[in-house]
Amino acid sequence: MLQVAAIREQTHTILEGLRKRNFKDGETLVREVLENDQRRRDTQKVLDELKAKSNADAKKIGELMKSGQSAEATSLRAAVAADKENLKSLETSLEGFEKRQLELLYKIPNIPHANVPAGTGADDNVTVYQHGTVPTLPADAQPHWELIKKYDIIDFDLGTKIAGAGFPVYKGKGARLQRALINFFLDEAVSLGYREIQPPIVVNEDSGYGTGQLPDKEGQMYFVNEDGLYLIPTAEVPITNLYRDVILGDNDLPVKNAGYTPCFRREAGSWGAHVRGLNRLHQFDKVEIVQIRKPEESYEALETMCAHVQGLLEKLELPYRKLLLCGGDMGFGSAMTYDMEVFSAAQQRWLEVSSVSNFETFQANRLKLRYKSKEGKTQLLHTLNGSALALPRIVAAILENNQTPEGIRIPKVLVPYTGFELIS
């Protein structure tokens, strides 16, 4: 979340950033934050002054008693008792202002980096790089939802039978391809210095608030009511929350973690060919990379994380493009996001397979994640994460782009992991 001091001292800049996001409630929420903050500070000032007076009076009571001025001491004791009641009332008011401040701040998204383009949606995103040749398929080429039936490798009907729509069953070489991709992605991350983490796939409410999924995406998350737990929408949530309420030292940085988890998203109300088959699921597998960096290092780290994702796509022999998202298309907590999209030849469309984001201090402020420098100064860190990679659309592109009369060719880099070269 944004820092109140920043909203107070850089109000114009904050409002401009919210307008770049096309965030309609920005002016109202910022005004409420500032008004609530002023009331909180006024109350804190009165509280501090009354507390100092009460402490001084309490000390004076003893002096009056020693000097034989018992009547004056009794009168002052009554005044101190009254002050204590007023202090309780002021503390209650202060707690109310602080609670309301959090409620307001949780509703305000992050401010886009200066280099983020203005725009209202996906059409305003900027292609900054494109790699590979889009394959030309024969006229009888099939989309992946037909290929998976032909080769009996993924079964949506069985998934619907045992769970519901959006929960596919992977079978035979389809399951082995999934496992191969997961192991390949993890091995590549570890080779670049990421530490592998296997986190829980459910999180509590504090974790959801810590990384910004709550309250923003509460309706998109599966909730286990009896236990107050949420199924994770991405490994970013538990992995980043490992550092909630933590103060790191210079020697602890940078933090580079990677983890594989299943991910769960309700994605309610999605219909049409653009979400058919593997294009959008309620449960899917993903390897996530997470970094925690000093502020002055975070944008260089963002580029290295993108390069890592791009390297995976090139090794998989998939044509892709790198997009810089505009203000109106970024996630709630992001200051800058790059999306990677692969071209799905049978569908003749680009599919998003990765988002790599820098949150700057937005998550760290929620998490109370800080570092203490060698000089003893304590400040908030920057958090970053990226999909490296999400599997469903990668699988869709591999199946469609590599279909041949003999079967589906497996990218060479995956053959040591799958143990086969062809799905036939």
Give the Cα separation of 63 and 67 in Å (integer): 6
Establish whether 234 is an annotated binding residue. Answer: yes
HEC sequence for the chain: CCCHHHHHHCHHHHHHHHHHCCCCCHHHHHHHHHHHHHHHHHHHHHHHHHHHHHHHHHHHHHHHHHCCCHHHHHHHHHHHHHHHHHHHHHHHHHHHHHHHHHHHHCCCCCCCCCCCCCCCCHHHCEEEEEECCCCCCCCCCCCHHHHHHHHCCEEHHHHHHHCCCCCCEECCHHHHHHHHHHHHHHHHHHHCCCEECCCCCEECHHHHHHHCCCCCCHHHCCEECCCCEEECCCCHHHHHHCCCCCEEEHHHCCEEEEEEEEEECCCCCCCCHHHCHHHCCCEEEEEEEEEEECHHHHHHHHHHHHHHHHHHHHHCCCCEEEEECCHHHCCCCCCEEEEEEEEECCCCEEEEEEEEEEEECHHHHHHCCEEECCCCCEEECEEEEEEEEEHHHHHHHHHHHCECCCCEECCHHHHHHHCCCEEC
Establish whether 266 is an annotated binding residue. Answer: yes
Give the Cα separation of 350 and 297 in Å (integer): 31
Establish whether 404 is an annotated binding residue. Answer: no
- In the chain, the amino acid numbered 247 is I
Establish whether 95 is an annotated binding residue. Answer: no
Establish whether 288 is an annotated binding residue. Answer: yes
Phi-psi domain of 358 (left: phi exceeds 0; alpha: psi -120 through 50; beta: other): beta
Establish whether 385 is an annotated binding residue. Answer: yes
| Lateral strand order in the sheet of 349-360 | 126-131, 320-324, 336-344, 349-360, 382-390, 283-293, 255-264, 195-196
Task: For residue 366, give the nearest of 112, 108, 114, 115 by alpha carbon.
Answer: 108
Establish whether 236 is an annotated binding residue. Answer: no
Establish whether 13 is an annotated binding residue. Answer: no
Binding site, annotated residues for ATP? 265-267, 352-355
Binding site, annotated residues for L-serine? 234, 265, 288, 385
Binding site, annotated residues? 234, 265-267, 288, 352-355, 385
